[in-house]
Amino acid sequence: MSLQILNTLTRTQQEIIPRGGLGHTLSLYTCGPTVYSYAHIGNFRAYVFEDLLQRHLQTRGFIVRRVMNITDVDDKTIRGAVAAGISLAEFTQPFKEAFFADAQTLRLLRAESYPEATDPVQIARMMSMITTLMERGHAYQAEDGSVYFRIASFPNYGKLARVDLEGQRPGQRVASDEYEKEAVADFALWKSWVPEDGGVGWESPWGKGRPGWHIECSAMATGLLGETIDIHCGGVDNIFPHHEAEIAQCECAGHGVAPFVRYWMHCAHLMVEGSKMAKSQGNFYTLRDLLAQGWTGREVRYALISVHYRASLNFTREGLGAARTALARLDAWFLRLTEAAAESATSDPPDQSIEGFFTALDDDLNISGALAVLFETVRESNRMMDQGMLTPAQARGLLEWYGRVNGVLALEPDQSADQLPVEVQQLLDDRAAARSAKEWKKSDELRDQLAALGWLLKDTKDGQRISKS
Ligand code: AMP
Ligand code: ZN
């Protein structure tokens, strides 16, 4: 069976074929974090789903080029920096570092690149896209100095979210990055500077200002992956307005032949007691909160990965408890199987039926089907070991299969080095905050405290790197 996914654009299940044909590179763009605070595990549900997708694609032989952006300028980051009385870069830096640390704790594969919206190269590209949109009549500068996308100029607007353009009031405009699904309105491409923006702003042909969130992703995605991207992912809340706006911008500023994205994939929300986990609701947990409560990164990964990405997932302690139980079962089985295989250098291929793990994932990442095959295999081989019926060569064959399975799931037990103790992570976070506030003395003291605990720190251009001394 071919690898198929449900495309949000067509609402149908489709085989994934790279633009250049099978065997060619597959481009994947995933909307990344807005670094105005720690990402919550709802955000990480989206990233874990994207990680499962990337790993399964690679297991199936696709050559994946993935880009994930970092939104380090938008309404929320500016508000945060101004409130803290520090520069935007100082404000966002600790949250960037925290994001990468959390991603590592959750075992997310690294993307090929993580472009940042404030990078001068990216800002220049955003401006050039806006210029093209204005030249082609798709954008205009309003009395408030901001530049807006004219949605009436793009008949396909609404095709992804299937929002109804009927009854839309022409000339309605929104400057905010996020707005309600019903609001079909011209959205800001370039927001003219206002005093509340403090020191944040770039000179442009339309005066001092800053880019809108949607144009940031459009510019970074097409700048790094080309005018047509194979797969673009995010959470369902990204469909409208964010992804709809990305389509409008890219298809109007591009060469007009190919679609911006060939396959759209969106994961459902992580819920808490019936509501979406969101910072604005105050009902969120960060990964740090959970680690401090004694859960591990791999337990959280399991809890997030084990429910199909399009099913809404209610986040509960029972869910984490179930993850812990499932992992203990896998660990015990793996150990037993390793002992059983010790005497054999050769392996017998297992029954073909257990390839069902991978064929389930081929079917729109059917993780429930895949885990059912895994746990049925655990049950059956445990039974055979109980009865002394599993040969060492069969055990080795199963271990090899599990190696491939784990290449997708990444659930192996923690190596002590890849899980930082909570107090060490806290000291690292405090030091990152001290450094952005230019509190060098405090930063040095924190380094000394880490050294006293046996950890060696190095400051690199990507942030702090820590190792056991
Ligand atoms: P943001 O930092 O708000 O731009 O969100 C980053 C990613 O997390 C986006 O792809 C969102 O769609 C996704 N996201 C936000 N909240 C949730 C949630 N509760 N469950 C799943 N994904 C979410
Ligand atoms: Zn985006």
Q: What confidence tens digit (pLDDT) does each residue in 355-370 have?
A: 999 999 999 999 999 9
Mean pLDDT of 258-270: 96
Q: How far is the CA of 246 from the centre of ligand 1 (A)?
A: 17
Specify the pLDDT at position 435: 84
> Nearest ligand to the C-alpha of residue 245?
2
**pLDDT: is 217 or 446 the higher one?**
217
Looking at 207, 237, 267, which one is the last position of a domain?
Answer: 267
Q: Is 69 in the pocket of ligand 1 (CB under 6 A)?
A: no
Which atom of ligand 1 approaches the CA of 270 most closely? 20
- Is residue 107 within 6 Å of ligand 1 at its C-beta? no
Q: At what angle do helices 244-253 and 213-225 cross, to 10 degrees?
A: 60
Cβ 277 under 6 angstroms from ligand 1? yes
Residue 135 has pLDDT above 80, yes or no: yes
User: Domain of 259?
Assistant: 4-267
Give me the amino acid identity at 227. Answer: E
Q: What is the pLDDT of residue 426?
A: 79
Q: Which of 399, 416, 433 is the last residue of a domain?
A: 416
Specify whether 344 is located in the same domain as 211: no
Could you report how far apart the first and last alpha carbons of the chain are, in Å?
Answer: 50
Q: Is there an atom of ligand 1 within 6 Å of 41 CB? A: no
Asked whether residue 253 falls in the same domain as residue 377, the answer is no
- The pLDDT tens digits of the residues spanning 194-233 come to 999 999 999 999 999 999 999 999 999 999 999 999 999 9
Ligand nearest to the CA of 243: 2
295 and 252 share a domain? no
Please check whether residues 204 and 298 belong to one and the same domain.
no
Share of the chain above pLDDT 90, in %: 79
User: Which atom of ligand 1 lies at the shortest distance from residue 39's CA?
Assistant: 2
Q: Which of 188-202, 299-313, 446-460 is least confident?
A: 446-460
Q: Mean of the per-residue pLDDT values for the chain?
A: 93
394 shares a domain with 283: yes
Q: For residue 43, report the distance from its CA to the centre of ligand 1, in Å.
A: 4
270 Cα to the center of ligand 1, angstroms: 9
Domain count, the chain: 3
Query: Do residues 9 and 136 both lie within one domain?
Result: yes
Per-residue pLDDT, averaged over 24-38, amounts to: 98
CATH code for the domain of 31: 3.40.50.620
- Chosen domain end from 233, 267, 301: 267
Same domain? For 433 and 376 the reply is: no
What's the whole-number mean pLDDT along residues 278-296? Answer: 93
C-alpha span between 98 and 35 (Å, rounded):
9
Under DSSP, is residue 319 helix (H, G, I), strand (E, B) or coil? helix
Q: What pLDDT digit, counting tens, does each position of 411-436 carry?
A: 999 875 456 677 777 788 889 888 87
Mutate to test the pocket of ligand 1, among 31, 40, 43 (most ligand atoms within 8 A of CB): 43
Give the C-alpha separation, 256 to 363, whole Å: 32
Same domain, 229 and 315: no
